[in-house]
Amino acid sequence: MLTLFCARTITVGNKGSTCEIIIREKNAMSLKKWAAVIAGLSTAIIAQNALAGEFPERPIELVIHASYGGGTDTTARMMSIKTRRALGVDIVINSQRGGAGLTAQEYVLKKPADGYTVIALTQTHLYTMARGKTQMKIDDIIGIARAMDDPNVIMVSKDSPYKTLSDLVAASKKKKLKWGIGDIGNTEHVGIMRFGKVSGMEFVPVPFGGGSGVLQAVMSGAIDGMAESMSESRAQIDEGNLRPLAVMAEERLSTYPNIPTTFELGYPVKVSTTRGYGVLAGTPPEIVKILSDAFVKGMSSEVFANYLKGSGLTVEGSVAGTDVWTKNLKEEYANAEIVVEALGMK
C-alpha cells in the first residue's frame, strides 16, 4: 500500500508553499512506479507557485524613442518617481533613438512578453506603424497607462484680425490661409487636415521643423494660425502673445475654462498629443493589471500632478489605465492610417 501525506510545509523561494511528500511503501516496484508521478507533481506545484508569485522581481526597463532630456524622457522620469515605489522595483530608462520610433520598436519586439520591458508610446510610433516602416503592428501592443492627453489649441497672433474660430473659418473659405506645423504628417498637420474636412476650411501647411519655429512665426504674423499642444503654447498664451480660439477637445480644460472647444462650436474634431506606456501583446493579463495599477497610482501622485499642472493639464484629464489607453491607441492609429493614405506617405 502506498501512502502520501504532507509532513510539513516548506517555502519555495519567496513564493507560496508546497509539501514535503513522505512515502511509505512496502513494495519496491510500486515505489519506482510512483517516483515519476511524484516528481511531476512536485514540478507542477513549483511552477504554479512561481506563476502566482509576486511581480515584479527585478527592475523594469522603460524604452523611449527620444533623446534624454526631451519631453518623452522628462515625462517618463516624472512618472517613475512614485511608480517605482508602487511597483517596489526600480525603473530604468533606455533611449533607443532613430527612425521615428523604429529603433525602439524593433528593440522591444526582441524582448519576451513578460512585463519587464515597457515602451513609451506617442503618435510618432503610430505613424511609423501606419507607414509600414516597422515590423511592429498596432495589435502587437497593449497599453498599460496613459500619462498625458495634451489637447491641441487653435491659435492666432494677439494682433490677428480673427477674433473667433468662426472668423478664421470664414476667412479661409475666401482664401487659403497659412498654417504652421512642425513637420509634414505630424500631429498638428493631422489635426488641421481633420478640422479642414469638417469645417470646409482650406489651408496651406507651412512646416518649420519644430514647434518653437511655428510659435515665433504665428506671433510675428508671418503665418495665420496654428494648432499646437497646450503644453507647448501655454507660456505664450499666459503672456498674451497668442489668442486661443478653441481647444480641440470634447470638454473645456479646467485650467483654461474660458477657451471654448471645437465640439461646442460645431466642429466635432478631437486632436491631442498623447504620451503613455505599453507592453507586448501576450503579456499575462495579471501582469498587465499590476503594471497598469502601479503606473496609474504613481501618476496620480502630487508630484506628477504638479508636473501636469505646469503644462496646463490635470491628472483627471490625462492619466488613464489599460482599457482607456489601449482603446485610445487603436483610435489614434486608425486616424494615422487615414492621414498616411491621404498624404501618400506609405
- Cell numbers placing 145: 497607462
**Angle at alpha carbon of residue 328, lines to 322 and 333, rounded to 5°:** 125
Task: State percent of the chain over pLDDT 70.
Answer: 84
> Do residues 77 and 165 both lie within one domain?
yes
pLDDT single digits (tens) 175-185: 999 999 877 77
Question: Based on the structure, what is the number of domains in the chain?
Answer: 2
Are 10 and 89 within one domain? no
Domain containing 101 — which CATH number? 3.40.190.10
Digit-coded pLDDT (tens) for 224-254:
999 988 888 888 999 999 999 999 999 998 8
**Same domain membership, residue 152 and residue 36:** no
Q: Domain range holding 45? A: 2-51
Cell of 307: 508636473
pTM of the model: 0.70
pLDDT in tens, 165-177: 999 999 999 999 9
Per-residue pLDDT at 340: 83
85 with 207, same domain: the answer is yes
Indicate whether 203 and 234 sit together in one domain.
yes
**pLDDT tens column, 129-151:** 998 989 999 999 999 999 998 89
Residues 238, 316 within the same domain: yes
% of the chain beyond a pLDDT of 90? 59
Print the SS3 string covering the chain: CEEEEEEEEEEECCEEEEEEEEEEECCHHHHHHHHHHHHHHHHHHHHHHHHCCCCCCCCEEEEECCCCCCHHHHHHHHHHHHHHHHHCCCEEEEECCCHHHHHHHHHHHCCCCCCCEEEEECHHHHHHHHCCCCCCCHHHEEEEEEEEEEEEEEEEECCCCCCCHHHHHHHHCCCCEEEEECCCCCHHHHHHHHHHHHHCCCEEEEECCCHHHHHHHHHHCCCCEEEEEHHHHHHHHHCCCEEEEEECCCCCECCECCCCECCCCCCCCCCEEEEEEEEECCCCHHHHHHHHHHHHHHHCCHHHHHHHHCCCCCHHHHCECHHHHHHHHHHHHHHHHHHHHHHCCC
